């Protein structure tokens, strides 16, 4: 994919950049750190790109959107981990999510993209933000710039960076070794699913005929079916690999001919994911539901239990609210 | 072998046929061991009566009976009885390729002679100790008798062992028991120090003995007496020396005698290894009497007597022994003259008399030396026991400046008579046993020529005079004169009197009553006095062979089978005078017998006369002069008024003026001529320095190394501790880092 | 310059934009999330970084799904999302409790296992 020297040196450079940008006690090297990190990341992506260009024959530069979304994702992730204030971290994380959403779109996973935005950015992160607000302490003397000391200083940045980037180097090495060995199967899953929806194919073929008069099947024709041994009709004779279907004239004993599917007959992403979910993983859906239920229950139970507050004054104060009812605690 | 006269050779062979003794002879060593075992059980069960004493006395009496029976049955022969096979190793078939040392016993006349007086005295002293140690019943009584029995057993092994390894075993055993018994009062620092000193100084001698034993094995290939004394190699060496070819004898064989001699010096307290014996008086008096007067210290003499053939191989060993013995005798006598502690005086007199014994054996009068051993055992034990009775009765008072007039005290007559008998013997007053034995030695000094023996003879005579002086000094100061006494330190020494807050002086003056000895002590003292008197009679048994002792020794290796008494003289002169053989002993009386044997020439004479004839008169003169001097300087007023001493109270007498006149010499003598201080400077201090150095090395290096091993885990722990910060991030980091490292290794491996 | 958005030309193999590109993005984001988790002491930010690691795995899964022209990866991402949501809920409840204990969001006050 990419020459190892460039890769590793850029990883090292990236490590330095991240190290510099982590929050520190005294001096602030955030800006140089970002620059260095960006340079590192940019060089890698560029190298990836040029390599891809030189290897592939037909298609000019790689997809621009990938680079935009990719870079934004990485930069935002960096900012998540390096920003002293937790609220900003959460917000940058939302930006990361949006960039990831964009990457999913490029990968033709629209459903996932929107699910990500709705669930992740729209629910989980909002919860995070609420908890951050909830758990913010009152300002004390040792906080400067409204920041708690534990937020301002990173813990063991050097070791963390080194181990993290060591892991990264190893992962990329393994990936670059492994990816070229992967092969795609002959059958495209969406086509395979389509073979299980023969009537759709039939309708698409009919529509095509209606549209352009060529190809497709005549209204008098229908998809042929295989014959079982006992004479009952069996499966439709559609083929996913070649994207063909066997069509038969409706008249009795009519001849068959092979028709190719329309070009634009593809299964939509939502359809595919939905079909896959229901057909192949129904049990998992149930389990996921149970997990969510348990999480909800657990959260309710946990948050409900009142811990003993060390400060007696607080308790007294809490109980001081009692006269109107039984009090706040149950 | 070729030059020994045929009669001698035949006599030697006859005496050396070794038979097998009956098994009951084993009772002699095993009965004391039985006493040890029973008393040990007594100690375990915390017996609080005098039972251990009775057990010991019974067993020792049985051992003595067995010895007497053996004497009656087996005297004149040489027999060996083996208890069990101890060492039996062989690694080849040549000379010196096998090592056999059985736990066996060799019974010949020398052994029987020795064992008779050892077991006899042990029994008597055990009886004495049963009363003497009664203060300690329940507290250390049993321990005393265990060590006592063990001592007798070790002495048995030493004397009766049939090979040199048994001798060494016994040697070490008696050293150990001496340590245990001297340090009996282990809470007293002086006693503990004395015990250590005895053991350590003995050890120096033991090294010599050990090397001697090893050299004997290396050179002669065997340690057993039966084989050693018949070995052709040994006989050849003796013949070579006899003919004046001393250079033919290899150096190693000559050195054996030197090393054995060092061992004998250590055990028998000769110069320079005598310093332990006076300090050993810290032990209880029965211990002093038995071990340091009669038995253990004579082990050195026994060694030389037994190994006389080996000593004859070396040209220089016996003369060295003679000179050292004489020098020791003189030195100890001078020190003894200036001491005030009566037990110390007796101790120095023991050293002095041991010097006599060594001189005797070395100047080839083994008869004289051994006879002196026997007589000395009796009268020295008697003297010590009398001193012990005094100590026992006067609460530990031993200073002769503080005691006087015991002869006239009620209940002390037996002690006084015993003391008188002992002193007469020690001083060599005519017709006492000590007289005969000492004279035999001194006479021989003038007879045996060579290496300045005449000078030694005069020295021994002079020392005899000194001996008489200091002995009777003790007697006149302590037993004659006005009755005065002061109690010693042990009056309130026993803590269980329940007195506290009183000062010693009032009690001493008002409440002290000396308690005279009771039946057991008196019985023993009487018996010993009688025996000491009767020992003189031994001289008159078989007079032609120099008394009963000579008779006994004649058929043992100690009697110079290979050379008789006086032809041994020819060893050192390259003469070939015809020697009178043994069988010219006719029915002569003592003087003529001696004259007959010396017919071959006046090898030495004293003042022109034949020594054996006139020695009695000369030594009597010296002895009586000494006694007279003692009477003059220390005697009480009124004995023979005007002439003799004028002492009217315990502490002051004419001697004080004399001592002041000769000052500082008496003071130096009182301080033992500073020998102990010299040893301290020369040996003890450097050892302290070395041991301090080693201690520091041990602390720093060895302990440091060990401590380092202790520090390492701690260091490792401290080093690994920051990893356990307790914080979630840290653990996550280690997990992530670990995964990274593992994958890194995977990448490297599959590269 | 060919730019296509949600590729209708779906069945084409990824030519110019290989699997490796996306996996690289995923790896970098994962690493950053890891570093953030290990580095930050604020409990909530730590959990945020774990969410980021979920994100990265999601990208990788979807990239693989696109590479193999299957839907399994995307289905799995749905479940990842589910689990992430459940976990976020629980984690935040716990964080709230912990906060009530010590009045601080600092993770290093919880160090009973120290030493």
Which pLDDT tens digit goes with each residue over B77-134?
777 888 888 888 888 777 667 788 888 888 888 888 899 989 999 999 999 998 888 8
* C-beta atoms of B725 and C41 within 8 A: no
Closest chain C C-alpha to A118 CA, distance in angstroms: 11
Please name the member of C39, C41, C111 whose beta carbon is closest to the beta carbon of B726.
C111
In a domain, C49, yes or no: yes
Question: Best residue in B740, B748, B749 to probe A by mutation, most A CBs within 10 Å?
Answer: B740
In a domain, C5, yes or no: no
Compute the average pLDDT of residues B525-545: 79
Q: What is the pLDDT of residue C9?
A: 45
- Judged against a pLDDT cut of 60, whether residue B505 lies above it is answered with no
Question: To the nearest whole number, what is the mean pLDDT of chain C?
Answer: 83
Q: Which chain C residues touch A188 with a CB distance below 8 Å? A: 11, 69
**Which residue on chain B is closest to A156 by alpha carbon?**
B730
* C-beta atoms of A276 and C87 within 8 A: no
Looking up tokens 């006349």, which residue turns up? B109
Looking up tokens 């009692």, which residue turns up? A322
Closest chain B C-alpha to A8 CA, distance in angstroms: 13
Is A163 near chain C, with CB under 8 Å?
yes
Is A13 near chain C, with CB under 8 Å?
no
Q: Which chain C residues touch B740 with a CB distance below 8 Å? A: none
Residue range A285-308, pLDDT digits in tens: 999 999 999 999 998 888 775 655
- Judged against a pLDDT cut of 50, whether residue B4 lies above it is answered with no
Residue range A151-171, pLDDT digits in tens: 677 778 888 899 999 999 999
Q: What is the pLDDT of residue A188?
A: 79
Sequence-ordered list of residues with C-beta below 8 angstroms from that of B125, at least 6 positions apart, any chain: B286, B289, B290, B381, B385, B524
End-to-end CA distance of chain C: 60
Q: What is the pLDDT of residue B507?
A: 46
Instruction: Name the least confident of B1-5, B12-16, B53-57.
Output: B1-5
Q: Which 8-state DSSP code applies to residue B434?
A: H
B positions 665-684 inside 8 Å of C (CB):
none
How far is Cα of residue B469 from the mean position of the Cα atoms in its chain?
24
In a domain, C33, yes or no: yes
Question: Best residue in A135, A153, A186 to probe C by mutation, most C CBs within 10 Å?
Answer: A135
Rounded to an integer, what distance in angstroms lies between the CA atom of residue B441 and that of residue B271?
19
Question: Best residue in A77, A137, A179 to probe C by mutation, most C CBs within 10 Å?
Answer: A77
Is C39 near chain B, with CB under 8 Å?
yes
Closest chain C C-alpha to A94 CA, distance in angstroms: 10
Is C104 near chain B, with CB under 8 Å?
no
In a domain, C60, yes or no: yes
Confidence bin at A186 (pLDDT 50/70/90): confident
Q: What is the pLDDT of residue B145?
A: 93
Answer whether B386's CB lies under 8 Å from B532's CB: no
Give me the DSSP letters along A149-217: HHHHS-SSHHHHHHHHHHHHHHHHHHHHHHGGG----SS-HHHHHHHT-HHHHHHHHHHHHHHHSSSS-
* C-beta atoms of A156 and B730 within 8 A: yes
In a domain, C2, yes or no: no
Answer whether B335's CB lies under 8 Å from B78's CB: no
* Number of domains comprising chain C: 1
Q: What is the pLDDT of residue B639?
A: 55
More confident residue, A1 or B656: B656
Q: Which two tokens stand for residue B91?
A: 């690694």
Confidence bin at A84 (pLDDT 50/70/90): confident
More confident residue, B491 or C66: C66
Rounded to an integer, what distance in angstroms lies between the CA atom of residue B636 and that of residue B648?
6
* C-beta atoms of C55 and A266 within 8 A: no
Most confident of A229-233, B76-80, B262-266, B584-588: B262-266
E strand intervals along chain A: 221-223, 225-227, 233-236, 238-239, 244-249, 256-260
Beta-carbon count within 10 A of A109 CB: 29
SS3 content of chain B, % helix, strand, coil (to 5): 70, 5, 25
Rounded to an integer, what distance in angstroms lies between the CA atom of residue A55 and that of residue B37?
104
In a domain, C113, yes or no: no
Q: What is the pLDDT of residue B420?
A: 92
Compute the average pLDDT of residues B161-172: 92
Q: Which two tokens stand for residue B708?
A: 């380092």
- Judged against a pLDDT cut of 50, whether residue B191 lies above it is answered with yes
Compute the average pLDDT of residues B167-180: 93
Please name the member of B726, B729, B733 whose beta carbon is closest to the beta carbon of C113.
B726
Q: Which chain B residues touch A173 with a CB distance below 8 Å? A: 747
Question: To the nearest whole number, what is the mean pLDDT of chain B?
Answer: 80
Nearest to B301 by CA among B356, B340, B379, B378: B356
**Which residue on chain C is closest to B735 by alpha carbon?**
C38
Rounded to an integer, what distance in angstroms lies between the CA atom of residue A288 and that of residue A292?
6
Helices B109-132, B27-44: axis angle to 10 degrees equals 20
* C-beta atoms of C32 and A74 within 8 A: yes
Give residue B481's region: left, alpha or beta (phi > 0; psi -120 to 50). Answer: left
Residue range A49-58, pLDDT digits in tens: 776 666 654 4
Q: Which two tokens stand for residue B376?
A: 């000395």
Partner chains of B (3+ C-beta pairs under 8 Å):
A, C
* C-beta atoms of A170 and B736 within 8 A: no
Confidence bin at B476 (pLDDT 50/70/90): confident
Instruction: Name the least confident of B332-341, B574-583, C42-51.
Output: B574-583
Is B747 near chain C, with CB under 8 Å?
no
Please name the member of B729, B730, B736 whose beta carbon is closest to the beta carbon of A167.
B736
Confidence bin at B556 (pLDDT 50/70/90): low
Q: What percent of chain B has pLDDT over 90?
A: 24
Q: Which chain B residues touch C94 with a CB distance below 8 Å? A: none
Looking up tokens 């010299």, which residue turns up? B678
In a domain, C10, yes or no: no
Partner chains of C (3+ C-beta pairs under 8 Å):
A, B
- Judged against a pLDDT cut of 90, whether residue C3 lies above it is answered with no
Q: Which chain C residues touch B724 with a CB distance below 8 Å? A: 113-115
* C-beta atoms of B737 and A155 within 8 A: no
Nearest to B405 by CA among B342, B475, B472: B475
Q: What is the pLDDT of residue B440?
A: 82
Q: Which two tokens stand for residue B525?
A: 């003292």
In a domain, C14, yes or no: no
* C-beta atoms of C39 and B729 within 8 A: yes
Number of H helices, E strands in chain A: 13, 6
Q: What is the pLDDT of residue A77?
A: 93
Q: What is the pLDDT of residue B497?
A: 43
Confidence bin at C86 (pLDDT 50/70/90): very high
Confidence bin at B504 (pLDDT 50/70/90): very low
Q: What is the pLDDT of residue A283?
A: 93
Closest chain C C-alpha to A9 CA, distance in angstroms: 15
Q: Which two tokens stand for residue B509?
A: 């003056």
CATH classification at residue C74: 1.10.287.3510
Instruction: Name the least confident of B30-44, B306-320, B576-590.
Output: B576-590
List the domain range (segments joined by +) for residue C78.
19-104
Q: Which chain C residues touch A123 with a CB distance below 8 Å? A: 85
Residue range B198-233, pLDDT digits in tens: 999 999 999 999 999 999 988 888 888 888 887 778
Compute the average pLDDT of residues A122-144: 78
Rounded to an integer, what distance in angstroms lies between the CA atom of residue B733 and that of residue B127?
87
């Amino acid at each position: 994919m990419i020459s190892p020297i460039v890769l590793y040196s850029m990883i090292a450079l990236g490590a330095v950049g991240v190290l510099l940008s982590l929050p520190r006690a005294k001096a602030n090297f955030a800006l140089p750190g970002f620059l260095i990190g960006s340079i590192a990341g940019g060089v890698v992506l560029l190298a990836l790109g040029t390599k891809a260009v030189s290897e592939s024959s037909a298609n000019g530069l790689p997809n621009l959107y990938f680079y935009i979304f990719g870079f934004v994702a990485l930069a935002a992730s960096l900012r998540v981990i390096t920003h002293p204030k937790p609220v900003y971290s959460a917000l940058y994380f939302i930006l990361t999510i949006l960039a990831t959403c964009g990457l999913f779109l490029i990968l033709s996973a629209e459903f996932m993209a929107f699910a990500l935005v709705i669930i992740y950015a729209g629910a989980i992160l909002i919860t995070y933000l609420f908890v951050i607000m909830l758990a913010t302490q009152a300002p004390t003397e040792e906080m400067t710039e409204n920041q708690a000391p534990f937020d301002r200083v990173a813990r063991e940045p050097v070791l963390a960076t080194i181990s993290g980037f060591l892991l990264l180097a190893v992962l990329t090495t393994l990936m670059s070794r492994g990816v070229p060995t992967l092969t795609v199967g002959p059958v495209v899953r969406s086509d395979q699913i389509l073979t299980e929806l023969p009537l759709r194919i039939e309708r698409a073929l009919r529509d095509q005929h209606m549209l352009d008069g060529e190809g497709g099947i005549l209204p008098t024709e229908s998809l042929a079916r295989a014959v079982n041994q006992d004479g009952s009709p069996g499966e439709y004779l559609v083929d996913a690999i070649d994207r063909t279907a066997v069509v038969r004239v409706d008249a009795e004993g009519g001849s068959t001919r092979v028709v190719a599917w329309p070009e634009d007959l593809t299964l939509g992403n939502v359809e595919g994911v939905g079909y896959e979910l229901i057909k192949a993983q129904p049990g998992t859906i149930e389990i996921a539901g149970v997990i969510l239920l348990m999480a909800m229950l657990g959260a309710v139970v946990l948050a409900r239990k009142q811990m003993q507050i060390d400060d007696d004054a607080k308790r007294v104060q809490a109980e001081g609210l009692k006269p109107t009812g039984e009090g706040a605690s149950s | 072998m070729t030059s020994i006269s045929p009669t001698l050779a035949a006599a030697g062979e006859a005496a050396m046929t070794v038979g097998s003794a009956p098994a009951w002879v084993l009772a002699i060593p095993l009965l004391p061991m039985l006493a040890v075992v029973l008393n040990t059980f007594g100690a375990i069960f915390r017996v609080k009566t005098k039972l251990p004493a009775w057990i010991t006395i019974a067993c020792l009496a049985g051992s003595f009976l067995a010895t007497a029976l053996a004497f009656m049955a087996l005297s004149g022969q040489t027999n060996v009885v083996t208890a069990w096979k101890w060492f039996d190793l062989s690694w080849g078939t040549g000379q010196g390729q096998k090592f056999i040392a059985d736990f066996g016993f060799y019974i010949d006349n020398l052994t029987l002679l020795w064992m008779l007086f050892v077991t006899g005295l042990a029994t008597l002293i055990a009886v004495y100790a049963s009363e003497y140690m009664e203060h300690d019943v329940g507290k250390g009584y049993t321990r005393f008798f265990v060590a006592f029995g063990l001592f007798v057993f070790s002495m048995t092994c030493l004397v009766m062992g049939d090979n040199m390894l048994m001798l060494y075993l016994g040697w070490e055993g008696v050293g150990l028991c001496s340590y245990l018994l001297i340090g009996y009062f282990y809470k007293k620092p002086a006693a503990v120090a004395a015990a250590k000193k005895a053991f350590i100084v003995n050890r120096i001698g033991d090294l010599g003995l050990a090397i001697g034993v090893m050299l004997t094995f290396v050179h002669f290939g065997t340690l057993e007496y039966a084989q050693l004394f018949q070995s052709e190699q040994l006989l050849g060496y003796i013949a070579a020396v006899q003919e004046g070819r001393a250079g033919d004898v290899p150096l190693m064989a000559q050195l054996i005698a030197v090393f054995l001699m060092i061992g004998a010096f250590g055990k028998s307290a000769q110069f320079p290894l005598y310093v332990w014996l006076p300090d050993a008086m810290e032990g209880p008096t029965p211990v002093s009497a038995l071990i340091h007067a009669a038995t253990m210290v004579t082990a050195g003499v026994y060694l030389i007597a037994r190994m006389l053939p080996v000593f004859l191989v070396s040209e220089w060993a016996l003369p060295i022994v003679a000179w050292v013995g004489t020098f020791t005798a003189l030195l100890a006598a001078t020190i003894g003259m200036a001491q005030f502690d009566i037990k110390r005086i007796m101790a120095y007199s023991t050293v002095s008399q041991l010097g006599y014994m060594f001189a005797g054996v070395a100047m080839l009068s083994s008869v004289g030396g051994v006879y002196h051993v026997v007589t000395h055992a009796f009268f020295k034990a008697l003297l010590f026991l009398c001193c012990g009775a005094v100590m026992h009765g006067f609460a530990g008072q031993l200073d002769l400046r503080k005691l006087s007039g015991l002869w006239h005290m009620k209940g002390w007559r037996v002690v006084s008579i015993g003391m008188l008998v002992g002193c007469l013997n020690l001083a060599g007053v005519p017709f006492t046993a000590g007289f005969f034995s000492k004279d035999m030695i001194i006479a021989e000094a003038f007879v045996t020529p060579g290496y300045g023996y005449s000078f030694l003879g005069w020295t021994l005579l002079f020392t005899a005079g000194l001996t008489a002086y200091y002995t009777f000094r003790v007697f006149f100061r302590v037993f004659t004169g006005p009755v005065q006494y002061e109690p010693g330190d042990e009056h309130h020494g026993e803590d269980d009197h329940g007195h506290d807050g009183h000062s010693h002086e009032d009690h001493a003056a008002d409440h002290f009553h000396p308690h005279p000895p009771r039946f057991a002590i008196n019985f023993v003292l009487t018996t010993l006095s009688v025996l000491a008197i009767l020992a003189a009679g031994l001289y008159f048994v078989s007079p032609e062979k120099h008394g009963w002792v000579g008779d006994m020794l004649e058929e043992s290796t100690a009697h110079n089978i290979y050379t008789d008494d006086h032809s041994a003289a020819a060893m050192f002169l390259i003469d070939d005078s015809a020697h009178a053989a043994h069988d010219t002993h006719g029915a002569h009386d003592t003087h003529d017998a001696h004259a007959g044997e010396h017919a071959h020439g006046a090898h030495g004479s004293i003042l022109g006369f034949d020594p054996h004839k006139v020695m009695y008169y000369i030594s009597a003169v010296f002895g009586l002069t000494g006694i007279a001097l003692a009477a003059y300087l220390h005697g009480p007023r009124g004995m023979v008024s005007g002439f003799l001493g004028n002492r009217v109270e315990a502490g002051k007498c004419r001697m004080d003026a004399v001592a002041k006149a000769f000052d500082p010499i008496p003071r130096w003598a009182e301080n033992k001529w500073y020998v102990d201080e010299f040893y301290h400077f020369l040996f003890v201090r450097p050892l302290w320095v070395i041991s301090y150095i080693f201690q520091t090395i041990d602390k720093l290096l060895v302990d440091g190394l060990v401590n380092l091993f202790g520090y390492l885990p701690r260091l490792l722990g401290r080093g690994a501790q920051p990893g356990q910060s307790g914080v979630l991030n840290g653990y996550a980091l280690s997990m992530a880092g670990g995964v990274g490292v593992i994958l890194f290794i995977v990448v490297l491996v599959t590269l | 310059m060919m730019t296509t958005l949600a590729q209708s030309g779906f069945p084409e193999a990824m030519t110019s934009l290989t699997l490796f590109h996306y996996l690289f993005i995923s790896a970098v984001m994962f690493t950053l999330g890891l570093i953030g988790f290990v580095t930050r002491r604020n409990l909530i930010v730590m959990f945020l970084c774990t969410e980021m690691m979920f994100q990265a795995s999601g990208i990788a899964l979807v990239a693989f799904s696109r590479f193999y022209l299957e839907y399994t990866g995307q289905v799995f991402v749905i479940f990842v999302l589910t689990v992430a949501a459940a976990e976020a809920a629980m984690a935040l409840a716990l964080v709230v409790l912990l906060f009530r204990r010590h009045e601080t969001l600092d993770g290093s006050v919880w160090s009973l296992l120290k030493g």
